[in-house]
Amino acid sequence: NITNLTDLNISSLASYINARGYTPTWAGIIPCEPASDLLPIGNLSELQIVAPNPKIRDGTVRVTMDPSDLNIGFLQLHDFSQQVFPSPLNESGVGEVVLWWRNSTKNDKNATSDFLSEVLNTCSKTFCRHRSIQIGNPDIIGIGMIVATSMLLILVACFSTMSLGPLTEIVARPSRKKHFSFRQAAVGTVDELFSAVYVFAISVMASTFAYRYRTDSRFDVLMADGLSLVCSTTVVMLAATYWAHNRERPHATGSVIATVFITIALFATHFNVASKRASPVELACGTGKGGVSVRKGDPFDIKVIKFIPLGFASWCLALLGAVFHHPILHARKPAEGRRAALFFWRVAESLPCVFGIIGLGLYAGYFFNTWRMMKSTYGKAFTSAEKDWGFGQYLAVFTWLPPIMSFIHLYFAGLKGMLEARLPKGW
């Protein structure tokens, strides 16, 4: 039994934290809770965290700073001693504990750094869920953007599906069956929806390019890139629908070409940019640089997550199919007598809807998977940021109201006359 504080070796505390970090003491105290308060959560960059060897997937982080430079509050240090130090050392006064800490940082720097590293690694569950942790940009993962993106996915998937196949024969019939009316109203709203989706997509992708070079958060980069690729996929899907049923307008082709170039540039630079981003919080709680997995199950290991490459492949196939709907190529559609060529053509025309929905499903899984891992790692520190609303989020949600109102109006109003004024092709 140690009765003198000067005889307490900080290495023994590191071993104690490693062995009993989350095991309640006889007094019901979890050692990791007071130990986590010793670390500078407000400014994690002070810790000088170093990631392990990239080949070690379940490696531990190291704190390489001079422990004497660490600014720890006297009360936090005393509280830690009262709850973790063995009796009777836990009854030491503030001055005695501070003196012990200063002697440890001066005479046994390596052991003190090992102690800090042990706290960071063993107590990450407590440390990373601290109320002072800030992770996630509300303008990217806020509830408003989640609602707006969900509305975008549902609208585009529904409108793209309802617009499949010819419409002229259906409209020519006197029947007013409900599913015919829904299809007609959907196609009649495509022009407005395409314009709204394109403006939204270009805004998101341009913002992503600027934002991801200003942030140090890998999570924000991955989410922004994923959202941009979602928007690009919806543009391609609706472009195919627009060309299939509306008169060609110069802005439609130009919009798609601009979207294609930006999308390719985003994907080409995605892995390079993401691998160089890691905020101090992410380094401490689960993200390294260069694709390093700092902790087992790291949600940001870009070598493991395949959602982005698969989503991009789906986007390429959807784009290929959309080209077959363009008026220039559509004019070369095989005649009815050429069955094999016509079958191939119709299969190609279905690609935007089929692979577009597959791509949107992949991105939805990507967002859900990452969100689940973030919540598991950061708890309320992450979900509190998700609940924040901002002006941009309200604006994103209201973007989809005009097309929805137009669809409702077309459905309940006299369809034929209004569609003749809106559509176009084959009337």
**Is residue 39 domain-resident?**
yes
Tell me the residue range of the domain where 232 lies: 138-422
**Is residue 393 domain-resident?**
yes
What is the value of pTM for the model shown?
A: 0.75
**Is residue 194 domain-resident?**
yes
Q: Are residues 164 and 304 in the same domain?
A: yes
Q: Are residues 142 and 111 in the same domain?
A: no
Nearest Cα neighbor of 366 from 427, 314, 330 is: 314
The span from the CA of 25 to the CA of 168, in Å, is 76
Q: Are residues 262 and 164 in the same domain?
A: yes
How far does Cα 191 stand from its chain's mean position? 29
pLDDT tens-digit profile, the chain (427 residues): 667 777 788 888 888 888 888 888 777 788 888 888 888 776 676 777 776 554 444 456 777 778 878 777 788 888 888 888 878 887 888 888 888 888 888 888 888 888 888 888 888 778 888 777 777 777 777 777 788 888 888 888 887 887 676 554 444 444 555 545 667 767 777 777 888 888 888 988 988 888 888 888 888 888 888 899 999 999 999 888 888 776 666 777 888 899 999 999 999 888 888 777 777 777 777 654 443 333 444 555 555 557 888 889 999 999 999 888 887 877 777 767 677 777 787 788 889 989 999 999 988 888 887 788 788 778 887 777 666 666 566 666 777 777 777 777 766 665 555 555 555 444 3
pLDDT score, position 59: 52
pLDDT score, position 97: 86
The span from the CA of 357 to the CA of 365, in Å, is 12
pLDDT score, position 301: 57
Nearest Cα neighbor of 136 from 376, 301, 374 is: 374
Last residue of a domain, one of 127, 151, 182: 127
pLDDT score, position 228: 92
Last residue of a domain, one of 97, 127, 157: 127
Q: Are residues 158 and 83 in the same domain?
A: no
Last residue of a domain, one of 79, 95, 127: 127
The domain tally of the chain equals 2
Q: Are residues 208 and 87 in the same domain?
A: no
**Is residue 407 domain-resident?**
yes
Q: Are residues 144 and 120 in the same domain?
A: no
| Cα–Cα–Cα angle for 168, 171, 174, rounded to 5 degrees | 140
pLDDT score, position 333: 75
pLDDT score, position 295: 45
**Is residue 254 domain-resident?**
yes
Q: Are residues 85 and 152 in the same domain?
A: no
Residue 340: Cβ-neighbour burial (10 angstroms; 0-12, 13-18, 19+): exposed
Q: Are residues 112 and 190 in the same domain?
A: no
**Is residue 388 domain-resident?**
yes
**Is residue 133 domain-resident?**
no
Q: Are residues 19 and 106 in the same domain?
A: yes
The span from the CA of 61 to the CA of 121, in Å, is 7
Q: Are residues 64 and 205 in the same domain?
A: no
Q: Are residues 203 and 111 in the same domain?
A: no
pLDDT score, position 229: 92
pLDDT score, position 297: 45
pLDDT score, position 423: 56
Q: Are residues 90 and 179 in the same domain?
A: no
**Is residue 427 domain-resident?**
no
Residue 377: Cβ-neighbour burial (10 angstroms; 0-12, 13-18, 19+): buried
Which backbone phi and psi does 62 adopt, to 5 degrees? -125, 140
